[in-house]
Structure 1
Amino acid sequence: MTFRMMTAAAMLAAVAALPAQAETRVTYKSAKSTSSYYQMAVQIAEAMQTASNGEISVTIEESQGSVQNVMEVRARGADYVFTTPPSLVSLAQGGKAMFEGKGDPAFDEIRALFPIPSLTMHFVMSEESGAQGFEDLAGKTILLGKGSFGATEGEKYLDLFGLKDQIEIADVEIGNAVPALKNGQIDGFVTAGSWPAPNVVEAAASTGVRVLSLSDEQIAQTKRAKLVIPAGTYAGQEADITTTSLPVVAFTTTKMDDETAYQLTRTFWENKDKMAQSAPWWNGVDTGLMENITGKIHPGALRYYEEAGIALTDAQK
């Protein structure tokens, strides 16, 4: 074998060893497959696949909840993206509440990418109930549901506003809220999710409802973020609804390389309006939600925000 032939063979071997396409694989852990947040994850995965011409491949993983998503940071690699409220990240990093005794250095490496639709509180009352505000709830039958964020949060609000002992809690599953409202079994129900919420859309269109607004004083009592649902979001809604929300954000860790974090963040924002054409909940996401990110943002995502001229706080950098 001549020297030239050996050199050519070595070059061919080296080329063969290189990947044919630099595909980036990402695992996106969201929520239960029946939830709107899982559907959001599917939309994001499709947007990433299309916008990157297949160079970014996102696999969706079902989750049992936000706490699980955070806990898995300890064993995950550079491809891990997950959704959770920023408040849970703060608790994990501080080893508090459900993370007490479960602290891990990996929690300190969590970094934000972009906000997604917030968990938004809806206090939905039938028109027949005549309720115009929380002061009208005394003597009414309210469905809270069980085990969900909306149920826990709703019960907390009723207690804060001095209404807990003045209403009757209905023993009905939240999935049956709209039929129960239609047949007069309940006067109203409490639900939390992205807006417009499908069950509220159905109730407003089929039976007529009023979604109650909270005063600034009541919002301060809840210690949650203020959120305004624009007039016209639901059938018959002539005015803005002022309520509370629990921000939700897509996170990764410092293990992710800067370029991947940049591409994920850029692709999300550039395709958000397109996703909103088929799922209106994306209309609830704008740069104003960036202020709800209380921790640090990934350096790759920071690059995008600086390019886009989106203002960030010193704490986020």
Structure 2
Amino acid sequence: MKFTATIAAAALAVTAGLAGGQAEAQERVTYKSAKSSSSYYQMGVQIAEAMKAGTEGNVIVTVEESQGSVQNVMEVRARGADYVFTTPPALVRLAQEGKAMFEGKSDPSFDEIRALFPIPSLTMHFVTAKSAGVESFADLEGKTILLGKGSFGAREGQKYLEMFGLEGKVELAEVELSNAVAALKNGQIDGFVTAGSYPAPNVIEAAASTEVDILSLTDEQIAETKRTRLVIPAGTYAGQDADIVTTSLPVVAFATTKMSDDVAYELTKTFWEQREAMGEAAPWWLAVDQALMETITGQIHPGAIRYYKEAGFTLSDAQM
């Protein structure tokens, strides 16, 4: 379990307030996100700080490192009412149906999972040096591309190369994704593939250090991938004069029915009320809006539903 200094300091401050008899009853929540080196862990820290600020210290969130979304779902079996975790909604559905990586691992607690709010989606970026002259996937033929290893972006990038007829026609660079920007700048590679919330830090760095193009997918290609269509607005990255149409994997913060309606309500309400302030410090929060609510394909927690009704959000029958 890993704590940030900010969160630990917040906990001490609230403890002092309680000792003085000035604080209200305090709720403690564990937020399980991703590896500590990832942007999603950073988002967890930002959510923790936003909850402290938005509730005047009445909700304390402890951010816990995770090895991935599957682990987050599996831990529902042993966790209590204070557990919040992030994962793509598709994984929750697979867990509840006992399919794929959850085959033979079904558990009644999976049926108790309920959504709270969406967070920034995993967004595919196909970044190439402008000098490479790549305007479409067909133009990747003969180019040297860095996919990385083991990540969602690497797996998805490989799938798209195969899907769009480029298997064996692209040279895959044996370079770590962490070295992508330097490799692109010095001409070792023609492009790289990365997945993360936009604006992605490595894409910002690449666009700032050299001229780049970011591929758009056609609607037909997006339909073939069976992923969610997402538009990165023009101007998100340096030199980006037009919208980029790409694919994404939605990610949502979940709890279970063990969590009280009042706590789920407070978490959801505070998240949306603090979203704009979070966006001032980290632009990826600006990509979260009411339109992302449709990416929640399962049931929403009753406490969160109370907030959404109060705030005038439109919910589907399946979410209720």
What is the TM-score with the length of structure 1 in the denominator? Answer: 0.93
Residue of structure 2 in register with 1:93 after alignment: 96
Residue of structure 1 in register with 2:307 after alignment: 304
Alpha-carbon distance between aligned partners in 2 of 1:246 and 1:20, rounded to the nearest angstrom: 40
**Structure 2 residue corresponding to 1:276, chosen from 254, 257, 279:** 279
Q: CA deviation at 1:173?
A: 0.4
- Structure 2 counterpart of 1:168, one-letter code: E
- Does the alignment pair 1:242 with 2:266? no
- Structure 1 counterpart of 2:305, one-letter code: L
- Does the alignment pair 1:192 with 2:195? yes
Percent identical pairs in the alignment equals: 73
**Structure 2 residue corresponding to 1:259, chosen from 257, 262, 285:** 262
Q: CA deviation at 1:20?
A: 7.1
CA deviations over 1:200-221 (Å, ceiling 9, x no partner): 0000010111000000000000
Asked if structure 1 preserves the Cα contact closer than 8 Å seen for 2:23 and 2:58, the reply is: no
SS at match of 1:122: strand
- Does the alignment pair 1:134 with 2:137? yes
- Does the alignment pair 1:230 with 2:251? no
Q: CA deviation at 1:21?
A: 3.6
Change (3 A) 1:120 1:20: closer
Residue of structure 1 in register with 2:295 after alignment: 292
Find the structure with the greater CA-based Rg.
Answer: 1
The aligned runs of 1:1-317 (5 Å cut-off) are: 21-317=24-320
Residue of structure 2 in register with 1:15 after alignment: none
CA deviations over 1:132-189 (Å, ceiling 9, x no partner): 1111111000000000000000000111101112110100000000000011110000
- Structure 2 counterpart of 1:160, one-letter code: M
Alpha-carbon distance between aligned partners in 2 of 1:291 and 1:222, rounded to the nearest angstrom: 19
Unaligned 5+ residue runs, structure 1? 1-17
Alpha-carbon distance between aligned partners in 2 of 1:283 and 1:21, rounded to the nearest angstrom: 31
Alpha-carbon distance between aligned partners in 2 of 1:115 and 1:92, rounded to the nearest angstrom: 19
Alpha-carbon distance between aligned partners in 2 of 1:282 and 1:20, rounded to the nearest angstrom: 30
Unaligned 5+ residue runs, structure 2? 1-20
Q: CA deviation at 1:193?
A: 0.2
What is the TM-score with the length of structure 2 in the denominator? Answer: 0.93
CA deviations over 1:1-51 (Å, ceiling 9, x no partner): xxxxxxxxxxxxxxxxx9974110100000011111111100110111111
Q: What is the number of equivalent residue pairs in this alignment? A: 300
SS at match of 2:281: coil
